């Protein structure tokens, strides 16, 4: 698949939105755009089209950078399809954000009926997030959990619940298997195995 200048425009827009951000739970010198590039790469590597790759670059834009006005701008710049995928990956439009657990429970419910494009981008996002958490845990140990709103138990609970949904949906088996491997390794090294 050939990417067009729309992808370049999305990359520039994502960079401008997230330029001040660094990755949560990592060395603060790691720019946030690294996560967005990784998610877009995972989407493309798993057969995603250009709209899905653009949505991958912008999947956190609404939640972290401006709420509904940002979503409206995404509609204007990249069309309804991209905006609908981004919206499906968004768990809040407001700032300050509602309580973490409440947001995650509502978003998990939304994923159970989300369209395949939303599942692809969300799965790519969660795979990269879980991989980053695992890497940080292996480097820094238990200290990493203070950086996450859900703490250790909430973060691990969230990944288990997401994995259950992605497995039930059965839309992207190879990608889901990769996510499962990372989540299981994360649960194992943290000593958080279920009975």
Token representation of residue 48: 């995603």
Q: For residue 123, count CB atoms less than 10 angstroms from its CB and return exposed for 0-12, middle for 13-18, buried for 19 or more.
A: buried
First to last CA, the chain: 44
- Phi-psi map region of 25: left, alpha, beta (phi>0 left; psi -120 to 50 alpha): left
Rounded Cα distance between 48 and 61, Å, is 19
In the set 50, 51, 52, 63, the catalytic residue is: 63
Handedness of CA 145, 147, 153, 156 (dihedral sign): negative
Rounded Cα distance between 125 and 61, Å, is 13
Rounded Cα distance between 147 and 163, Å, is 22
Rg (C-alpha) for the chain, rounded Å, is: 16
In the set 64, 161, 184, 192, the catalytic residue is: 64
Please confirm, yes or no, whether 64 is among the known catalytic residues: yes
Residues with catalytic function: 63-64
């Amino acid at each position: 698949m050939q990417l067009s200048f729309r992808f370049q425009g999305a990359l520039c827009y994502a960079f401008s939105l997230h330029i001040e951000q660094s990755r949560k739970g990592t060395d603060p010198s790691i720019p946030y755009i690294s996560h967005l590039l990784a998610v877009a790469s995972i989407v493309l590597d798993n057969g995603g089209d250009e709209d899905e790759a653009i949505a991958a670059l912008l999947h956190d834009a609404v939640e972290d950078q401006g709420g509904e006005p940002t979503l409206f701008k995404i509609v204007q710049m990249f069309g309804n399809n991209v905006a609908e995928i981004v919206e499906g990956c968004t768990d809040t439009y407001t700032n300050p954000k509602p309580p973490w657990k409440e947001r995650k429970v509502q978003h998990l419910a939304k994923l159970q009926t989300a369209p395949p494009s939303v599942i692809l981008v969300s799965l790519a996002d969660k795979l990269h997030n879980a991989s980053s958490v695992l890497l940080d845990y292996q480097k820094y140990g238990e200290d990493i959990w203070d950086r996450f709103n859900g703490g250790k138990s909430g973060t691990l609970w969230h990944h288990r619940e997401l994995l259950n949904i992605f497995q039930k949906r059965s839309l992207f088996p190879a990608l889901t298997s990769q996510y499962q491997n990372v989540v299981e390794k994360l649960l194992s090294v943290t000593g958080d195995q279920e009975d």
